[in-house]
A and B are shown apart, each in its own frame.
Chain A
Amino acid sequence: MTAGSRRRPPWRMLVWLTLVWLMLWGRFSTGTLLAGVAIAALVTTALPLPAVEFKGRIHPVATAHLIGRFILDLVRASIQVALLALSPRRSPRGAVIRVHLRSESDLYLTLTAELSTLVPGSLVVEANRQTGVLYLHVLDVDALGGIEKIRTDTLGTEARVLRALASDGELAAAGLTRRGRDGRGEEQT
């Protein structure tokens, strides 16, 4: 956000947009590639986005862990909500809780918020990027084992995001180690 208006071309974005264009066409040809590059350049100059700071790199094992766990959680969450929708028991006890995340980066805050919305129990209602606080709505407090459990789970999601993407410095600043037990058992500092 604070990056100046004179900045390098957003290479990652150009490559990504070209790739999307190619995927939309479905098959590769030189013409499609050139058109993709031209459109990517046009989009990034006409509609520039604030640069997202990313100092880390992708750690394959941790990323696979993050994705695998996410898919499992998504399936669990969907079945849970589906059963709740179809069950005759009415009106579960909901809650809105506050979770202080460890990291201060916009990117990790966004990713954690996105993932938290899709995994069991929670839905992000409000996010504060200055303080790194997420407000989550919980559909059924009792089914998920209480508010503290949900707080721990959300911090666990953040820990997995950080392990997958963050640099060693960012990880240390968040009070985490590279090898943790699934993001559990680590208390906020």
Chain B
Amino acid sequence: MNATACYHCGLPVPAGSNHSVNIGGSERPMCCPGCEAVAGAIVSGGLDNFYRYRDGNSERPEDSIAQTAQEPDRWAVYDLPEVQRQFVCDLGEGQRVAALLIGGISCAACVWLIEKHLGRCEGVDKVAVNASTQRAQICFDPARVNPSQLFAELECIGYRPAPATAANSESMIQREQRSALRRLGVAGLGTMQVMMFAVALYFGASSGIEADLERYLRWVSLLVATPVVLYSARPFFAAALRSLRARHLSMDVPVSLAIGLAYAASFYATVFETGEVYFESISMFTFFLLLGRTIEMRARHRAGLASGGLAQLLPLTAAKIEGTEIQNVPVAALVVGDRILLKPGDTIAADGEVIDGESGVDESLLSGESALQQKAVGSSVYAGSVNGDSTLKVRVTAAGQATRLSAIERLVERAQLQKPRQVALADRVAGYFVGLVLLAAIAAFLAWWQIDSGRAFWVALSVLVVTCPCALSLATPAALASATLRLQQMGLLVAGGNLLETLPRIGRVVFDKTGTLTRGEPRILQIVVLRDGWSAQRVQDVAAALESQTNHPLARAFSAWRGNLSASEIKVYTGCGIEGSVDGERLRLGRADFAAQLAAQSAPEIPSSEGQWLLLADSLGPVAWIALGDRLRESAQAAVAQLEAGGLEVELLSGDQSAEVARLADAAGIARFRAGASPEQKLAHLQQLQQSGERVLMVGDGLNDVPVLSGADASVAMMSAADLAQSRADAILLNGDLRVLPQAIELARRSRRIVSQNLAWALGYNALALPLAVCGLVPPWAAAIGMSLSSLVVVLNALRLSRFRVAASPTGEKSPAGQVSTGRESWS
């Protein structure tokens, strides 16, 4: 029960595992060879301070790191000139800059570690890492170091490097962010100054002020407020113009109208020394609105930048067979009819047909199917899937845009077009509101023209200013910005602007299975020892030794015990299992009939409980059964219970065929589930639900989920998800804790309440002020103070969301521990 946590990644260390690294003078436990290798590399580089600086646990590296670190060839493709052209830029004078996308950066300490580690490499001149975009610019001397060495160094300290090929959109985002910050800074500084002058003017109006000084203060206010209006507020004017051209009254229209008219009137009043000025209100209004939009934009960009798009799922090169020679060629150069060689562990670069060899292929990215698909001569393989255990020769039947991977991309685009549009509440209100205010202003002008033509203009103006939709247009963005920041602290990064408006209306939550409800990797569920004298521990050690050399996905389950024993003469039988010698004894691990053959016996009967059963046998007969299966995330059960307690329907929709789906649905407490659904079927199921009036939240991670994620009313992708899935989802769950979902829905409900309160307040204030202004009873300074106060009330009300905390429910507290213990009990 009291499992120690891995010092590097924080996952529990399985019992009997013997991995550790000496950090800062004491031995620290490690859960797997991958963590051990990475921590070892960090410590031997003298960078163990990383562990003192970091905020949280690091990402768990692939087990294969321990082996591949010694294979510099692994990244050799990035040295090819035609590949380098995509992400390396030549500065001249023997200097080049490589733009890399680095997966696994979680905090500032990671930046420190990467910059220190790479900066120490021979030939690297400068390293700049940006934690929020997960990008690095590395300045290097091509004569002394190759890009492939940079990749290898990054991998050996536990990060996942990839070339940042989408550099164009990145520089566009950077420009957009910088210009937003500049505008915000000008608005902020300007507001502070104008406010000071305004306080002097307020006091002057109530207790008397020299006419000269008043005129002087108005002129300096005009001077400071002008750049705020002409520079900072320009995006609002541009957006308003766009929306007018599209014949639609968006919130930007009243905002621009208020800023523009109030500025024009104040300008007029200053120059002709008549009427009142509103410079402070204009500046403050601009500043608050810009602040809300900038926060929202940063969150959106951060989510978008973390993904490199579809192209990064494919390798950059393929091993092409030309006659008897094998040549590395860029994938873009592959054409139909080429023959390519796939080694175990390779990602397939194009769709094709197997012409030689037999192997299991992992297609989980495309179909969600967790078991390896057996391929023999004549079977089809698809781009984006990963070759499992042995070498294949493939004839290309489709490359580039024609592959099945691209077909999924097109399905995504179609789904996005059909996604139900959410019209923001404030935008709908704005349309009526603007019309009403304009009508009232014109009516007041005409009425006062009859009564007192000299006052007509000022009354009409005070109608416009007093009803200035400050509070109204701040109501929604202030609440959304505050809720977005709070969600990010809770671990949910909101990328789509509409998520918070949609979440409260959700009626059904649909989960994917592999990688979403589960951890997405096989674990040992149960060991049944058949022979006296063997302990479960020894079975684990022997199995780990046998599996230590393979790339088979199931081998991950044993990695924790790797190195306790060593095996020799290992031989892989595709689709059957592994044979090898441990301590001079021949053993087989794999399918029951295959393993039992070693003793020329027939296979014993497979135990009836769940999981994928492997048999370990020696020359005397069967030794033990090992059940492998994907384990439920610790938070899954609690999350489902909380969602259902909140009145939501929960459903499991998986591409997996096996009985695993039913088992996991049961374990998570989900009554409705569906297995074996293709991406098309998933989308069809979703659209059927939507047509029957349901609003659906989809939670998924794989590429096969991408169309549904795009088509759902709201969608959440896991942090470990395929890049494409992340970029198409409305939000990304950063810490993998599913219990954040019910909390997020609760927060969204509360934020909707706050938005309605704010709207009610803003409309109520206007309903009261409008008639008074029309009657000419509101002096302009009172209008300005009222306007500022009502904006402040709205902003403070919205800030309450940032202190949101969910009362811990009893199920939420108990369940994770219960989950671990059920897992443990079945071990012995």
A associates with B? no
List the interface of chain A (C-beta within 8 A of B).
Answer: none
